Amino acid sequence: MLFEQTTLLLHMFKNTLLQAVDAGAAELRRFFNGSFTITSKGSINDLVTEADHASEKAIFSVIQKNFPDHFILSEETGALPQNSDIKWIIDPIDGTINFANGIPICCVSIGVEQKGKMILGAVYNPFMNEMYIAEQGQGATLNDKKIQVSDKDNLLTSCLVTGFPYQYLDTANGPLQIFEKLIRKAIPVRRLGSAALDLCWTAAGRFDGFYEHKLQAWDSAAGFLIVEEAGGKVTDLQGNDYSPYQPGIIATNGKIHQQLQSVINGGSI
């Protein structure tokens, strides 16, 4: 009976997750390449748009209709605490700068956490019609087809992706130092401008690895589960178990993980 109740609840969570992602994506489509307000949240290029707020409002409406007592953590509103062991971690538009400039590399990202463990994640880019979904222990899919990470085992022949913080981290082995080290060895390193999609494209085998020095929980909550469920490995920059509540991330196919981690921590290639 307990198993059946748990399965039913998970099914309800998943249905709500998909409805919420669709609701947010509808707002992205409505505003894309149109006229909308844009403001800065801190640094000059840390933007929030009218579409971010509209997407977030639509997502909240779906979740709170179905689960009004659940905890919500979202990029624009912050935390809406509840006495619940379920938390919805939301990025209404991941890749806001891309969105604001009419670049269709952006998405809605929502992770569902239970008692500190990510159990569901969905990332949807409506402009490429790509829906990534992962359920703990059940694998990951792209548009309902199973995906898995790549099988490259040599960092030198890998294709990587990264991102840079809005306020540069002037530290040893910082973003530019690592980027320079990699590209001096002719390793292709891309920058899409959406950490959630970086993770999904790593899960799908398009990239062999992703790293970034400074993310927020809503950037990676869904994507890191998608990578793990696609057979990949995700850690912090030091190789410890990953938590979206700390800033650094390495996500790879697993086979190049140690090599990339070594370079990020000052090792040579």
**Catalytic residue (one of 27, 52, 76, 91):** 91
Q: What is the Cα–Cα distance from 227 to 233, expressed in whole angstroms?
A: 7
CA neighbours within 13 Å on the CB side: how many for 215? 32
Element spanning 113, H or E: strand 107-114
Instruction: Kindly name the residue from 96, 162, 235, 252 that is annotated as catalytic.
Output: 96
Choosing from 63, 86, 89, 93, the catalytic residue is 93
Catalytic residue among 135, 198, 219, 228: 219
Residue at 226: amino acid letter: I
Q: For residue 37, indicate whether it is catalytic.
A: no
**CA 189/CA 204 separation, integer angstroms:** 17
Q: List the catalytic residue out of 76, 94, 113, 135.
A: 94
| Helix, strand or coil, per DSSP, at residue 232 | coil
* Residue in the block written with tokens 């609840």: 9
Write out the two tokens for 198. 């970086």
Query: Strands 71-74 and 47-49, how do they pair?
Result: unpaired
Query: Known catalytic residue: 75?
Result: yes
| Residue 241 appears among annotated catalytic residues | no
**CA–CA–CA angle 148, 153, 159 (5° rounding):** 70
Residue 76 catalytic? no
Query: Quick check: is 94 catalytic?
Result: yes
CA dist 55 → 26, 91, 113, 226 (Å)? 8, 9, 20, 22
CA atoms of 101 and 104, how far apart (whole Å):
9
Q: What would the two tokens of residue 111 be?
A: 């992770």
Q: Which of 52, 56, 75, 76 is catalytic?
A: 75
Note the residue count of the chain: 269
Whether 208 is catalytic is: no
Give the 3-state secondary structure of residue 215: coil
Q: Which residues are catalytic?
A: 75, 91, 93-94, 96, 219
